[in-house]
């Protein structure tokens, strides 16, 4: 049976063209749907927009003293705020930061292309900064009732090659995220192509009632220096988010639920080359209390990844992981998480639970167990074949103590290993009566 016949994708967001005048048409807002899993409540209604703002491109002419369309884009958003549509149907270059967190009742139709300059020194100084994991952004959208859509045509290009090369020489380099939703209450991002982000592709932060659908993500380095940390989506301090029906070819988590992510659905995804769909990492900062709760991951095809389903939390003490990334000692919990219907193709682990993320010294892991509690987690309906990396082991569920991992279950798991031996699952401090898998010790 092929993956196409076993993975059933959700409803596609369809779009249409509205005539504006004799010379131009604008891509109309798509009919937004989610499914088959639903968030349990209707998102607020977006009224019809009543004005239109086209954004002219400088096309490298230096209209503003440099190749930068950001001033014209900002002008259009100010003009069409509160009831308009901003049209980006040409080729645009953004060379300065855009703070679009003031928006209300705006649609953004992108049928052209947007590329960010690769002036690394400028962006390091001028991008928007976030304390969490030293993140930064080229631009950010926020406010209320914002729909960004591309009908499968629109392209956002991070122009990441220079960043990949620079990061190889300077691993603490602060690299911008391609698209940030920050403080957006009710919105959508649909029908876009995203290419070569310097860092994460998407961050959804401090937001609620967000639908993401029909996104095509890809990253590729043209040099010996690989793209790093290219997460498809990270959610952070956000509630009621649906991410669905998208293709992701990247270099890190396909989707990652960062601290205080609640009531989130991820469904109908095809992920390749990633680090899986991940809860975490969590517990990185000692002064913070991290929560991830009510997550449903459904109908996923995961290929050539380090993990299929993954939960990762830091140990109970500070741990240096890699340049620019360290942590541990934070507290909190993961609760009510379900991974349902996940196809594995050449993934190193089909399932990984790691309560000592970033630390390879088992003595330290044992001495400083995680302060994070993981409870009410279900893995079910998983199949496929793992990579040869750990053969015949196909997954690892490792907790620091039985008190920190409660009610973790695995049902209808038929993942195989390439050698054809009996698949083995490393189970540490787990209630094995809830695990319908072949558990072995870490030393086996």
Cβ-contact 360, 318 below 8 angstroms: no
Residue identified by tokens 């389903």 is 309
Other Cβ atoms less than 10 A from the Cβ of 304: the count is 14
**Residues contacting 424, CB < 8 A, separation 6+:** 392, 393, 394, 417, 438, 440, 444
Please state, in angstroms and rounded to a whole number, the distance separating the CA atoms of residues 253 and 272.
10
Please state, in angstroms and rounded to a whole number, the distance separating the CA atoms of residues 370 and 304.
29
Using DSSP's 3-state secondary structure scheme, residue 415 falls into coil
Cβ-contact 161, 222 below 8 angstroms: yes
Nearest residue to 413 via CA among 389, 443, 379, 387: 379
Catalytic residue among 23, 33, 186, 275: 275
Alpha carbon 113 to chain centroid, angstroms: 21
Enumerate the β-bridge partners of residue 395.
Answer: 351, 425
Enumerate the β-bridge partners of residue 198.
Answer: none
Cβ-contact 198, 228 below 8 angstroms: no
For 78, the token pair is 């100010």
Cβ-contact 149, 27 below 8 angstroms: yes
| 186 catalytic residue (yes or no) | no
Residues taking part in catalysis: 275
């Amino acid at each position: 049976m092929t993956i196409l016949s076993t993975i059933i994708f959700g409803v596609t967001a369809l779009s249409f063209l509205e005539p504006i005048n004799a010379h131009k048409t604008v891509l109309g807002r798509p009919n937004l749907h989610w499914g088959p899993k639903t968030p349990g409540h209707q998102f607020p209604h977006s009224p019809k927009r009543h004005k239109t703002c086209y954004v002219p491109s400088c096309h490298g002419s230096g209209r503003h003293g440099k190749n930068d369309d950001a001033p014209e884009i900002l002008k259009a958003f100010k003009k069409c705020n509160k009831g308009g549509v901003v049209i980006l149907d040409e080729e645009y270059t953004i060379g300065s930061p855009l703070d679009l967190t003031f928006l209300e009742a705006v649609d953004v139709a992108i049928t052209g292309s947007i590329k960010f300059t690769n002036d690394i020194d400028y962006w390091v100084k001028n991008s928007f900064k976030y304390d969490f994991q030293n993140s930064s952004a080229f631009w950010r959208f926020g406010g209320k009732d914002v729909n960004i859509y591309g009908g499968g045509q629109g392209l956002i290009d991070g122009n990441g090659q220079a960043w990949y090369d620079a990061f190889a020489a300077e691993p603490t380099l602060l690299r911008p995220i391609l698209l940030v939703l920050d403080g957006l209450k009710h919105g959508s991002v649909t029908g876009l192509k995203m290419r070569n982000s310097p860092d994460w592709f998407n961050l959804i932060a401090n937001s609620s009632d967000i639908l993401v659908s029909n996104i095509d993500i890809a990253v590729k380095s043209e040099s010996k220096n690989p793209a790093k940390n290219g997460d498809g989506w990270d959610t952070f301090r956000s509630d009621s988010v649906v991410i669905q029906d998208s293709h992701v070819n990247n270099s890190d988590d396909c989707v990652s639920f960062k601290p205080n992510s609640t009531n989130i659905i991820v469904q109908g995804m095809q992920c390749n080359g990633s680090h899986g769909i991940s809860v975490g990492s969590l517990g990185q900062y000692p002064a913070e209390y991290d929560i991830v709760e009510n997550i449903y991951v459904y109908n996923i095809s995961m290929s050539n990844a380090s993990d299929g389903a993954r939960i990762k939390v830091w140990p109970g003490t500070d741990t240096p992981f890699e340049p620019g990334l360290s942590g541990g000692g934070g507290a909190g919990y993961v609760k009510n998480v379900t991974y349902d219907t996940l196809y594995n193709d050449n993934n190193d682990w089909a399932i990984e639970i790691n309560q000592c993320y970033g630390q390879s010294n088992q003595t330290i892991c044992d001495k400083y167990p995680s302060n994070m509690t993981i409870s009410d987690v279900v893995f079910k309906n998983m199949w496929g074949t793992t990579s040869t990396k750990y053969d015949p082991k196909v997954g690892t569920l490792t907790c620091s103590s039985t008190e920190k991992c409660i009610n973790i279950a695995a049902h209808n798991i038929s993942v195989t290993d390439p050698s054809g031996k009996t698949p083995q699952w490393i189970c540490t401090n787990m209630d094995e009566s809830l695990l319908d898998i072949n558990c072995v010790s870490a030393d086996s």
